[in-house]
Homo-oligomer: A and B are copies of this chain.
Amino acid sequence: MNALYSPIKPKRISEEIVDQIKVLIFNGDLKPGETLPSERDLAKALSVSRVSLREALNALQGMGLLEIQQGNRTCVRPITTRSIHDPLVSFAKKSLANFIKVFEIRKYLEMGCASLAAQRATSEEIERLEKLLKQMEEDLKRNRLGAKSDFDFHSAIVAATHNVAYIHVMQTLYDLLQEELRIAYGDIFRKKDIRKKLLLQHQNVFKAVRDHDAERASKEALIHLCFALETWESGLIKNIEKS
């Protein structure tokens, strides 16, 4: 209720060990390549059980700070690229089916974006959307890749919701989907008839937002996202058949 007292977190032994060793590594007392004492010795030195110590070492290995191998002494690893393990990313990357599931969420979130944007877009934001649409027309004429303008358009819609949380969530999804979709842009979405359709759909969404017609905006957004998902899926199937 009040912020005077903060809850006390009982620290586990293994965590304290992790902290201690981390400090040693970051201070340079343990240089990369250096070996740690054997588990038995270290446990004795820290006056903890080997189990607790092993939990800590395991965690440190998980962070990429140690290299543990049976028979050899465990040694400190050079800190290089510490890859960030985002479960959502690894979920999406596991299979295309998973990827589509994430895209499906985007479909409905995008509907909400369009609806909110129609309700709240300022005249400046509508102007900006129009400008972006012109850009996309230009891209189509000159047969340039429209990935960036497409992304900008959607971002502009999201911004018009005036909902910071919404913007964050959408950005997260865009980041996640972007990589895979870029491939689609260079392949499936390259065909002129498809790009024409996409442009038309964008225009329809824009018009609804401009007219502050929330219901129509969400409907047009749904149509657009459904088409994009379907086109992309069918393109994938073709690619699989080819190979």
Question: What is the interface of chain A, defined by CB distance below 8 A to chain B?
Answer: 10, 14, 26, 51, 54-55, 58-59, 62-65, 70, 79-89, 91-92, 94, 98, 101-102, 104-105, 107-109, 111-113, 115-116, 163-166, 168-169, 172, 176
Residues of B within 8 A of A166 (CB): 101, 104-105
The docked-state distance in angstroms from the alpha carbon of A92 to that of B81 is 15
Is B108 within 8 A of A108, CB to CB? Answer: yes
- 10 A-B Cβ contacts within 8 A? A14-B58, A54-B55, A58-B58, A58-B59, A83-B89, A87-B168, A92-B165, A104-B165, A105-B165, A108-B108
What is the predominant secondary structure among interface residues of chain A facing chain B? helix
The docked-state distance in angstroms from the alpha carbon of A222 to that of B210 is 22
Counting chain B CB atoms within 10 Å of each CB, the highest count among A89, A108, A164 belongs to: A108
Q: Within the complex, what minimum Cβ distance (angstroms) separates A58 from chain B? A: 6
The docked-state distance in angstroms from the alpha carbon of A163 to that of B92 is 12
Number of copies: 2
Is B107 within 8 A of A112, CB to CB? Answer: yes
Residues of B within 8 A of A107 (CB): 112
Is B105 within 8 A of A112, CB to CB? Answer: yes
Residues of B within 8 A of A98 (CB): 26, 164-165
Is B172 within 8 A of A84, CB to CB? Answer: yes
Contact of A10 among B63, B70, B102, B115 (CB under 8 A): B70
Residues of B within 8 A of A176 (CB): 83
